[in-house]
Amino acid sequence: MSWFSPLRQLDSTQRHTVAASFLGWTLDAFDFFLLVFVLGDIADDFQVHKTEVTLGILLTLAARPLGALLFGRLADRYGRRPVLMFDVLLFSLLEFACAFAPTLTVLLVLRFAFGVAMGGEWGVGASLALESIPVRARGLVSGLLQSGYPCGYFLGAIAFWVVFDVLGLGWRAMFVVGVLPALLVLYLRSKVPESPVWQAGQAGRQRRSLRDSMRGQWKRLLYMMLLMMAFNMFSHGSQDMYPTFLKSQLHLQVGTVTVLTMLLNAGAILGGLSFGAWSERIGRRRAMIVAALLALPCIPLWTHGGSLVLLGLGAFLIQVMVQGAWGIVPAYLNELSSDDVRGTLPGFAYQLGNLLAASTATAQSWLADRSGGNYALVMAGWMAAVAVVLALLAWLGPEVRGTYFGRQRS
């Protein structure tokens, strides 16, 4: 429990900032994953194959670098807080608009626009939180922030159960629910101040172009981008087609799919918090490597458990490792970035990696179709290969634990 002591040392303002950043990523992920649960229903409604609907996932992921660059630059120039509020409002309204898409083409266009807005949230929210807390709290807060992603998936599973099983509504109602994150803007406006590191850096700072700000950092951007490609292939490879695997190959009912998805995300939350906090002791790189390699023995249980109990255990354990590695990412990318591009560089690198990994769901669906619908085989092979690549990339990177932000001192 000593790992969690840094949270008790945060003052009220810092706790509100961390909470708001966590909720921002939670609700962003919630809106993203609503589509994952209704791929088949949308395909049936528009009378197309599921693979065509997965283009919505690809387009969302492909658009996120644009949003990270746009909103990141705005955050570096005008502050983290106002840009984050605008971004949350925008992605909520775009999600709501998806409920009224008359054709698949319109839905895909809206998912691309949603991706632009979604791409801005992670980098701006992470920089706002990590610039507002003590150095020694970064590892745990990093894990907490990244746990917002599985929390969003968890809430999406609950929404799927309520909308379909309890209320008996269709896929359009899922997107209506997606407007709720807009309420977070009220909390941000009333409780969260601007980043003190950003404010301190404004005194005497000259406006610099992105090219000037990035001078000498292009190799680091390339490394961060490749690392994030592996990370996104790791997480999306284990999550995006998982409900489809359970429904299409194992023929499980909505309630069972919901329970297994909730177990998956419970493991993800535990992993993100534990490995994020542990990285303060053993270093960011070493913690990422351990988590990636420990995912390997979990894969057979996750895809070929043979019973609901074993499948549930496998889903829980593999996400402890997947999101355990991910829990270190916010701190690691922000520590790799200098003060004047911290709003832009981490989020942009993250979302460029997303772009390179954007075809994960489409590729898995395509491979499964050509293997007789065997999602288990495809997903298992995918995850094994990516885990090894991720561990290798983390081993090749620099260790930057405890890097100073602005005038902070440990």
pLDDT tens per residue, range 234-277: 988 887 777 777 777 777 777 787 788 778 878 888 888 889 88
**CB neighbour class for 401 (10 Å; exposed up to 12, middle 13-18, buried from 19):** buried
Considering 55-69, 155-169, 289-303, the range whose residues carry the highest mean pLDDT is: 289-303
* pLDDT beyond 70 at 198: yes
* pLDDT beyond 70 at 299: yes
Distance, CA of 120 to CA of 69 (rounded, Å) = 7
pLDDT (average), residues 6-21: 83
Neighbours of 310 (CB within 10 A): 14
pLDDT (average), residues 28-38: 83
* pLDDT beyond 70 at 3: no
Distance, CA of 404 to CA of 159 (rounded, Å) = 41
* pLDDT beyond 90 at 385: yes
Domains, in order of start, for the chain: 10-191+216-396 (1.20.1250.20)
Neighbours of 358 (CB within 10 A): 26
pLDDT at 107: 92
Chain segment 107-163, per-residue pLDDT in tens: 999 999 999 998 888 888 888 888 888 888 888 888 888 888 778 877 888 888 888
Contacts of residue 386, defined as CB under 8 A and 6 or more positions apart, other chains included, come to 230, 233, 234, 237
Q: Tell me the pTM.
A: 0.76
Tell me, rounded to whole angstroms, the distance of Cα 380 from its chain centroid: 21
Chain segment 15-24, per-residue pLDDT in tens: 888 888 888 8
200-222: buried (b, 16+ CB within 10 Å) or exposed (e) per residue? Answer: ebeeeeeeeeeeebbeeeeebbe
pLDDT band for 410, please (50, 70, 90 cuts). very low
Q: Write the secondary structure of the chain as one string of H (helix), E (strand) and C (coil).
A: CHHHHHHHCCCHHHHHHHHHHHHHHHHHHHHHHHHHHCHHHHHHHHCCCHHHHCHHHHHHHHHHHHHHHHHHHHHHHHCHHHHHHHHHHHHHHHHHHHCCCCCHHHHHHHHHHHHHHHHHHHHHHHHHHHCCCCHHHHHHHHHHHHCHHHHHHHHHHHHHHHHHHHCCCCHHHHHHHCCHHHHHHHHHHHHCCCCHHHHHHCCCCCCCCHHHHCCCCHHHHHHHHHHHHHHHHHHHHHHCCHHHHHHHHCCCCHHHHHHHHHHHHHHHHHHHHHHHHHHHHHCHHHHHHHHHHHCHHHHHHHHHCCCHHHHHHHHHHHHHHHHHHHCCHHHHHHHCCCHHHCCCHHHHHHHHHHHHCCCHHHHHHHHHHCCCCCHHHHHHHHHHHHHHHHHHHHHHCCCCCCCCCCCCCC
Distance, CA of 180 to CA of 197 (rounded, Å) = 30
pLDDT (average), residues 44-59: 84
* 11 backbone φψ class: left, alpha, beta (φ>0; ψ -120 to 50): beta
Chain segment 215-228, per-residue pLDDT in tens: 667 788 889 999 99
Show the tokens assigned to 187: 């909390």
* 303 backbone φψ class: left, alpha, beta (φ>0; ψ -120 to 50): alpha
Taking a C-beta distance cutoff of 8 angstroms, is the pair 135, 410 a contact? Answer: yes
Tell me, rounded to whole angstroms, the distance of Cα 141 from its chain centroid: 15
**CB neighbour class for 49 (10 Å; exposed up to 12, middle 13-18, buried from 19):** exposed
pLDDT at 394: 92
72-94: buried (b, 16+ CB within 10 Å) or exposed (e) per residue? Answer: bbbbbeebbbebbbebbbbbbbb
pLDDT at 208: 62
Residue 128: name the closest of 194, 35, 31 by CA: 194
pLDDT (average), residues 295-323: 87
Taking a C-beta distance cutoff of 8 angstroms, is the pair 71, 97 a contact? Answer: no
Distance, CA of 112 to CA of 205 (rounded, Å) = 35
